C-alpha cells in the first residue's frame, strides 16, 4: 500500500527538483549542450524551410568559378588577371547594384609572366569601383593569422573602404550557422566582406544567425559563361540592378560546412556549400535585418526549471508521457521563437527531462527492491 507523503518527503522532493534544475543549468555551459542545441537548430531550419519558408527579393546573383570555367582558362587561378578583369568590366557595364569579389587579389605584380597582366586586372577593378559599391575579399593567413597582402596598385584602386575580411565563425561542431558584420581587432574592429557590403547598401544591418529559411536558392551564372559573353543585352538581363557576388564554386574548393546548401546548381540539403553561397545568404539575411539573435539566458533557464518540476510526477510511465509531450512542446516553442527572430536554446531543458525520467525510474527500482512503493 502506498504511504502518504509527510512534510519531510515534500522537502526532500523540493530539494531533488532544485538539484535537478541546478544540474540542467550547469549542463547548459558544456560543449555537449552547444552541440545538441546546434543539432536541434538544424532540424528547426529544415522544418521551417519545408513548411514555412520566408520570401526574399531575388536580387543576388552568383558568378561562380566552376570546374568548366577552370578548364576554359589555360592559366592557373592565381594568374587570372586578364579573365578576371574582363569579367569585372562586363558585369560593371550592365550597371549592377553592387559587386563583391571573393577571389583573392594577387599580392605581387604578374607582369613578369606576361606584360599587361597587371593593367588588365586594374582596368576591371576600376570599372567595378566606378559602377558603385564594390568590395573585395581580404583573406587571412591561417599560419600567421594576419591579413594576406595585396599588390599596392590593386589596393589603391579597390580602396581601403572596399575591403572586407573573408572569415567565418564556426560552432563547436565545425558548422557555420552565424555571421558577423565585423571582426574584433586591436583597433576595435574591421568589417567582414558581408558587413562592408551591407553597410554600403543599407544603413540597417544586423548580424547573428544566418536565416536558412529565407529566400530561394540563388541565381547562378558560370564565370566561363560571362567570360565568353558578347551580348550586352544578355548581361543587362542577368546583372542590371542586382548584387553580383563573384567567387569559387568548385565542388572541392573553398567549401564550408552549413546546415542547408542554397546553391541552386548543387543538390539541396546540408553538408557543405561554396563559401560564396554562404556569403550570399548572410548578406541576404543582413540586408533584411532578419538575423535571429539568441534568447536571454533567463528564458532557457525557466524551461529547465519547468522540466525539473516533472520530477514530482510519481510514476515513471506518467513521467515518460509528460517528458515526451514536454519535448514536443519545447521543439514547437523553439520553432515559433526562431520564426519570430529569436533562437531559443532548448538542449538544457531536454536534458533535464531525460534526467528527471532517469531519476524517477531509478527511485522506483530502488523502492521495488525494498518491497514498497516509492512516495
What is the Cα–Cα distance from 250 to 224, expressed in whole angstroms?
A: 13
Which one has a higher pLDDT value, 278 or 361?
A: 278
Q: Calculate the CA 142 to chain-centre distance.
A: 20
E-assigned strand segments in the chain: 60-65, 98-101, 134-138, 163-165, 178-179, 182-183, 190-191, 208-209, 219-222, 243-248, 255-261, 269-274, 293-294, 342-343
Cα distances from 114 to residues 88, 119, 150, 334, 337, in angstroms, run: 20, 11, 19, 58, 58
Per DSSP (E only), the strands in 128-254 are: 134-138, 163-165, 178-179, 182-183, 190-191, 208-209, 219-222, 243-248
Q: Is the dihedral of CA 78, 80, 81, 85 positive or negative?
A: negative
Instruction: Label residue 5 by pLDDT band (50, 70, 90).
Output: low
Least confident of 59-68, 79-88, 108-117, 363-372: 363-372
pLDDT range class, residue 1, cuts 50, 70, 90: very low
For 160-188, how does the pLDDT look when each residue is reduced to its tens digit (9 = 90+)? 889 999 989 999 899 999 999 998 877 77
Q: Which residue has the higher pLDDT, 265 or 269?
A: 265
How far, in Å, CA of 72 to CA of 325, rounded?
A: 58
Is the pLDDT at 200 greater than 90? The verdict is yes
Q: What is the reported pLDDT for 357?
A: 83
Q: What pLDDT is stored for residue 266 in this prediction?
A: 87
Hey, which of 98-102, 140-144, 323-327 has the most confident mean pLDDT? Answer: 98-102
What pLDDT, on a 0 to 100 scale, did the predictor assign at position 6? Answer: 55
Between 241 and 364, the higher pLDDT residue: 241
> How far is the C-alpha of 375 from the C-alpha of 363, rounded, in Å?
9
The pLDDT assigned to 310 comes to: 81
Position 271 scores a pLDDT of 80
Whose cell is 527500482? That residue is 365
Reported residue count of the chain is 375
Strands (DSSP E) found in 193-347: 208-209, 219-222, 243-248, 255-261, 269-274, 293-294, 342-343
* Cβ–Cβ < 8 Å for 65, 227: no
pLDDT of residue 143: 74
220 strand-pairing partners: 62
What pLDDT was estimated at residue 323? 82
Q: Which residues lie below 8 Å from residue 143, measured CB to CB, with a gap of 6+? A: none
**C-alpha cell recorded at residue 265:** 546548381
Q: What is the mean pLDDT of residues 134-152?
A: 85
Give the predicted TM-score (pTM) of the model: 0.88
Q: Which pLDDT score, from 0 to 100, does residue 328 have?
A: 93
Return the C-alpha cell found at 355.
534526467
CA gap 288, 298 in Å, rounded = 28
Confidence band for 348, pLDDT divided at 50, 70 and 90: very high
Which residues, 6+ apart, have CB-to-CB distance to 16 below 8 Å?
Answer: 311, 359
Per the model's pLDDT, the better-predicted residue between 225 and 13 turns out to be: 225
Residue 369 pLDDT grade (very low, low, confident, very high; cuts 50, 70, 90)? confident
Show the DSSP H helices in 28-151 as ranges: 31-51, 67-72, 81-93, 117-131
> What is the percentage of the chain residues whose pLDDT exceeds 70?
94
Mean pLDDT score across all residues of the chain = 88
- Express each pLDDT in 99-114 by its tens digit: 999 999 999 999 988 8
For 151, phi then psi, to 5°, come to -50, 125
Amino acid at each position: 500500500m502506498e504511504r502518504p507523503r509527510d512534510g519531510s518527503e515534500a522537502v526532500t522532493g523540493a530539494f531533488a527538483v532544485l538539484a535537478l534544475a541546478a544540474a540542467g543549468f550547469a549542463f547548459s555551459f558544456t560543449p555537449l549542450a552547444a552541440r545538441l542545441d546546434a543539432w536541434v537548430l538544424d532540424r528547426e531550419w529544415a522544418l521551417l524551410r519545408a513548411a514555412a519558408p520566408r520570401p526574399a527579393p531575388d536580387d543576388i546573383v552568383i558568378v561562380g568559378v566552376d570546374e568548366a570555367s577552370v578548364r576554359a582558362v589555360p592559366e592557373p587561378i592565381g594568374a587570372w588577371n586578364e579573365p578576371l578583369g574582363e569579367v569585372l568590366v562586363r558585369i560593371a557595364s550592365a550597371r549592377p547594384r553592387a559587386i563583391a569579389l571573393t577571389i583573392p587579389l594577387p599580392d605581387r605584380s604578374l607582369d613578369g609572366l606576361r606584360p599587361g597582366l597587371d593593367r588588365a586586372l586594374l582596368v576591371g577593378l576600376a570599372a567595378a569601383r566606378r559602377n558603385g559599391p564594390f568590395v573585395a575579399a581580404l583573406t587571412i593567413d591561417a599560419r600567421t593569422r594576419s591579413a594576406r597582402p595585396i599588390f599596392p596598385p590593386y589596393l589603391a584602386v579597390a580602396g581601403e573602404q572596399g575591403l572586407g575580411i573573408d572569415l567565418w565563425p564556426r560552432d563547436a561542431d565545425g558548422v557555420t550557422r552565424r555571421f558577423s558584420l565585423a571582426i574584433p581587432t586591436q583597433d576595435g574592429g574591421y568589417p567582414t566582406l558581408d558587413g562592408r557590403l551591407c553597410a554600403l547598401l543599407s544603413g540597417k544591418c544586423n548580424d547573428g544567425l544566418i536565416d536558412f529559411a529565407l529566400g530561394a536558392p540563388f541565381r547562378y551564372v558560370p564565370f566561363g559563361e560571362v567570360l565568353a559573353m558578347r551580348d550586352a543585352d544578355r548581361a543587362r538581363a542577368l546583372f542590371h540592378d542586382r548584387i553580383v557576388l563573384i567567387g569559387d564554386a568548385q565542388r572541392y574548393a573553398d567549401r564550408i560546412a552549413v546546415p542547408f546548401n542554397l546553391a541552386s546548381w548543387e543538390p539541396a540539403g546540408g553538408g557543405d556549400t561554396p563559401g560564396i553561397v554562404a556569403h550570399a545568404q548572410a548578406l541576404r539575411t543582413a540586408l533584411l535585418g532578419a538575423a535571429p539573435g539568441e534568447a536571454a539566458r533567463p528564458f532557457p533557464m525557466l524551461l529547465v526549471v519547468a522540466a525539473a518540476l516533472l520530477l514530482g510526477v510519481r510514476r515513471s510511465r506518467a513521467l515518460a508521457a509528460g517528458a515526451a509531450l514536454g519535448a514536443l512542446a519545447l521543439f514547437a516553442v523553439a520553432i515559433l521563437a526562431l520564426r519570430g527572430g529569436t533562437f531559443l536554446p532548448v538542449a538544457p531543458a531536454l536534458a533535464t527531462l531525460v534526467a528527471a525520467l532517469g531519476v524517477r525510474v531509478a527511485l522506483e527500482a530502488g523502492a521495488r527492491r525494498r518491497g514498497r512503493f516509492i512516495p
